[in-house]
Structure 1
Amino acid sequence: MYMPRLMLALPALFAVALSSCSSQPQQPPAAPPLAGARIGGPFTLVDQNGRTVTERDFAGRYRIMYFGYTFCPDVCPTDMQNVGAAMRLLEKSNPSLASRVVPILVSVDPARDTPKVLKQFVSAFHRRMVGLTGTPEEIARVAKEYGIFFARGKGNKDGYLMEHSRQIYLMDPAGKPLALLPETPPQAMADEIVKWAK
């Protein structure tokens, strides 16, 4: 008896349709881009209130780590403004997570960035932003741990600029690197934090 080819193929098509409806094993979540990277480490610095702090003071919280300086004419204020805006977006969309994230600015210009100067600077961008400074040796040590380049540029004693790396790190509650955050827009930065912070 003759049967059209389509009729013969129906059982196979039905089996394929059923298999495509079956639940597939979920893919494991992607590892954070910087997982396992040798970035970060212990430090002892001074915050904007003149208090000595170490990396242990931030244990249990995610950290946004940025290296810059208060006398920067444009780049650092722009980046800090974006970090502050990202934090405010996160506070609206996910207040529980936002409360576990601390934005930190480490000065690469300790000669001018005293705690008092840092306090005025960081408070302009976010109420919980922390500013850290120290001796030139302490700053050089922590910058090396984070793979940050910095050097004093041309200029006189008071008017010089600092050259420095611009990356914005997201670190986990144990101080391990998770990802580089985009510099802009703030929403993209907030989204990246939500993606990797659990």
Structure 2
Amino acid sequence: MSSLVPALTRLFGFPAFRPGQERVVRAAIEGRDTLALMPTGSGKSLTYQLAAMLRPTPTLVLSPLIALMKDQMDKLPPEIAGQATLLNSSLEPDEAARRLRGVADGRYRLLYAAPERLRQRSFVDALAEIDVGLVVIDEVHCVSMWGHDFRPDYLFIRRALERIGRPSILGMTATATPETERQIAEALGRNPEIVRTSVVRPNLRYDIELVD
């Protein structure tokens, strides 16, 4: 099994992976459905960004907030930034179509979009023609109907994935209970591999001081 560290260093400049990252990247590259439970700041975004650069087909990233998509785009290293694009409601139809053509012709390997765009049949049909191989679902806990962050648009994901050829999925979230994990798997119609890393931060220390 070849190491992914050289690709990590070449594209991101890091000498080693953080806990859990390499396992998630490898699962995504190999097309295994995966649910990654990794705390905020653990490098979840890097896992699918690196996988997207190493896969033969484009990757779709579904993210609930335009601001979050833009932030992730702005933080991409130069070696990747030119190969990523996003679709949002502020784009004119012609510009959105141009960006989709860019994904189809290989100019872009990473496409960011909001889940509600899956309601558009034209968008789903375009994804089917593009042959998207991996769909990343950021904040995947939003699919849980019993969670505080439930978003109805996430319920369109399963049907859309069936229509575009059932690509592999990578669900990302900072935390989920076993019941939420079960609900995610059921809502998406998959039996994903679970990658869970510790929420304990060894570099953080708490001091408690009593005052009058």
With structure 1 as the length reference, what TM-score do the two structures score?
0.27
**Normalized against structure 2, the TM-score is what?**
0.26
The structure where strand makes up a greater share of residues is 1
Structure with higher helix content: 2
